Amino acid sequence: MKILIVEDEVKTGEYLRLGLCEAGFAVDLTHDGVDGLHLALEGNHDLVILDVMLPGMDGWQVLTQLRRQQKTMPVLFLTARDQVEDRVKGLELGADDYLVKPFSFAELLARVRIILRRGRGTVEVTTLQVADLELDLLRRRVSRDGRRITLTAKEFGLLELLMRRQGEVLPRSLIASQVWDMNFDSDTNVIDVAMRRLRVKVDDDFDLKLIHTVRGMGYVLEASEEKA
């Protein structure tokens, strides 16, 4: 899941970015309203966290433009002003929720999860399953053959991506951008290291291996034994 933060207070933005990354989200951060609008129009974000008072273009204008251009991703407003008319205005413009500063990170994270859950609507799955491997998106739990597997936030994000796109060979560059929110740098083996750890946890104790390396191409998760 990818989140865009538009927040001109550098410290707040960085604090949110780090917290959300640790919670397993891929995060884009910008400090300017105009950049924020461009990123939101071009990127595939599942949620935008939008400050109201911004240089370049304020949060209201950014949201208005997004909705005008048929971008329907949920928007969570951050407002420093606890004024009823501000909240009403945001909600009227099509914001999904708002938080009044100062707020705790735990509160923000809870709101983010609720909005993302709501945004998925009633038909969206909350559990991914491949063979006997299960990933519960809401409880953020993974189990195989009924046995709980404990993953770090990054490992969870990685497994979620592999399971959502099961059967597809995912290049390292795509994994890097979706899970690490970074451009792939061939000098880094961070993906391979994480993948190795994930495979130990997911596959080592089982005869049926689910995660496979496709030499020179990337990784695929599928319940077939052919690509061992």
C-beta of residue 140 within 8 angstroms of C-beta of residue 160: no
| Number of residues in contact with Ca ion under rule CB under 5 A | 3
d(CA 75, CA 119): 10
Q: Is 53 in the site for Ca ion (CB under 5 A)?
A: yes
Q: Which secondary structure element, helix H or strand E, spans residue 48, and what is its range?
A: strand 47-51
Closest distance of CB 1 from Ca ion, Å:
24
**Could you tell me which stretch among 2-10, 151-159, 179-187, 219-227 binds Ca ion (CB under 5 A)?**
2-10
Closest C-alpha among 151, 124, 115, 134 to residue 3: 115
Closest C-alpha among 183, 177, 180, 182 to residue 194: 180
Which is nearer to Ca ion, 53 or 109 (by Cβ)? 53
User: From the list 51, 86, 160, 181, which residue makes contact with Ca ion (rule: CB under 5 A)?
Assistant: 51
Q: Is 100 in the site for Ca ion (CB under 5 A)?
A: no
Closest distance of CB 60 from Ca ion, Å:
12
Closest C-alpha among 56, 54, 44 to residue 78: 54
Cα of 39 vs its chain's centroid, Å: 15
Q: Is 86 in the site for Ca ion (CB under 5 A)?
A: no
Closest distance of CB 214 from Ca ion, Å:
45
* DSSP letter, residue 55: S
C-beta of residue 219 within 8 angstroms of C-beta of residue 170: yes
Residues forming beta bridges with residue 75, ordered by sequence position: 48
**Could you tell me which stretch among 52-60, 109-117, 123-131, 182-190 binds Ca ion (CB under 5 A)?**
52-60
Which is nearer to Ca ion, 32 or 134 (by Cβ)? 32
**Could you tell me which stretch among 4-12, 41-49, 104-112, 169-177 binds Ca ion (CB under 5 A)?**
4-12
Site for Ca ion in 31-50 (CB under 5 A): none
Q: Enumerate binding residues for Ca ion (CB under 5 A).
A: 8, 51, 53
